[in-house]
Amino acid sequence: MSASSRVPFRLTVLCLSSSAVAVLGGCSKAPEEPEFDHGLKKPIVRKLRAELKETPCDKAKAQEYAQLLMATGDLKGVTKASDDFAAAGCGANVVLLQHAYTANARLEQKEGALKAATALVEAQPTNASYRVWRGLSQEAMGLTEGAAADYQKAFELQPDQRPILNALLKAYETLNRPCDALAAYQRYVQAKPTEANKSDVKEAMQVLASKTTCPVDVGMEDAGATGAATTP
């Protein structure tokens, strides 16, 4: 068999092996995903999309576009809008990243959510909410150490917030770090003395203290007994 006669056969084999939908030696073209139906908002969506092609770094316009896509339920469009803005080298757009995080989370795109949350943390490192968002993203991916670090930082920024404390305690429980959990409780009642005498808080602290050999701050013990936490 000549070289020229072998080429068609080789191409056919490659075609068959590279596509699960190949039909008897031919390659089927993957169907294109239909354009999202933006309903009555379609004209303005197309208008903004065209304008952003001309001025991709128009921050206000990019935000308006993403908000419109979010309102119509086009979550994939939201993530693409954020990615396109970043790819154009336009810098951080916090509003766009917020929408991207929300869209990725709803789509259960864990890596995309983590990417958006990380960009938000980098843009505003002292924002406790963004630390929590990144912690949630890492926790969803099984990255508990990283999640705990983000929750801990968020807790340091807002030590009086029970939801942040709860997220941090959950991570520490998963990591089997009871001393860190007890220290978090101690910091919490210090920041919010009115919580010191609540039964659930007192019981949780007592259980942790009884099961561990962690050093317990005397002032915190007094706070748990009297409800008057000391200052550092």
Q: Is the pLDDT of residue 158 over 70?
A: yes
**DSSP string across the chain:** --HHHHHHHHHHHHHHHH-TT-BTTBPPPPPPPPPP--GGGHHHHHHHHHHHHHSTT-HHHHHHHHHHHHHHT-HHHHHHHHHHHHHTT----HHHHHHHHHHHHHTT-HHHHHHHHHHHHHH-TT-HHHHHHHHHHHHHTT-HHHHHHHHHHHHHH-TT-HHHHHHHHHHHHHTT-HHHHHHHHHHHHHH-GGGTT-HHHHHHHHHHHHH------HHHHHHHHHS-PPP-
pLDDT band at 210 (very low <50, low <70, confident <90, very high): confident
Arithmetic mean of pLDDT, 32-56? 90
Q: What is the pLDDT of residues 168-195, one digit of tens each?
A: 999 999 999 999 999 999 999 999 999 9
pLDDT of residue 33: 64
Closest CA to 120 of 141, 144, 136: 136
pLDDT of residue 225: 40
pLDDT of residue 172: 97
- Matching residue, tokens 């429980």: 173
Average model confidence (pLDDT) across the chain: 84
Q: What is the pLDDT of residues 78-136, one digit of tens each?
A: 999 999 999 999 999 999 999 999 999 999 999 999 999 999 999 999 999 999 999 99
pLDDT of residue 213: 79
Arithmetic mean of pLDDT, 131-158? 98
**CA distance linking residue 175 with residue 144, whole number of Å:** 7
pLDDT of residue 97: 97
pTM for this structure? 0.77
**CA distance linking residue 140 with residue 225, whole number of Å:** 37
**CA distance linking residue 137 with residue 49, whole number of Å:** 29
- Matching residue, tokens 């994939």: 76
Arithmetic mean of pLDDT, 194-222? 77
pLDDT band at 211 (very low <50, low <70, confident <90, very high): confident
CATH of domain 41-124: 1.25.40
**CA distance linking residue 221 with residue 66, whole number of Å:** 50
Q: What percent of the chain stands above pLDDT 90?
A: 72
pLDDT of residue 31: 56
pLDDT of residue 17: 40
- Residue range(s) occupied by CATH 1.25.40 in the chain: 41-124
pLDDT of residue 25: 44
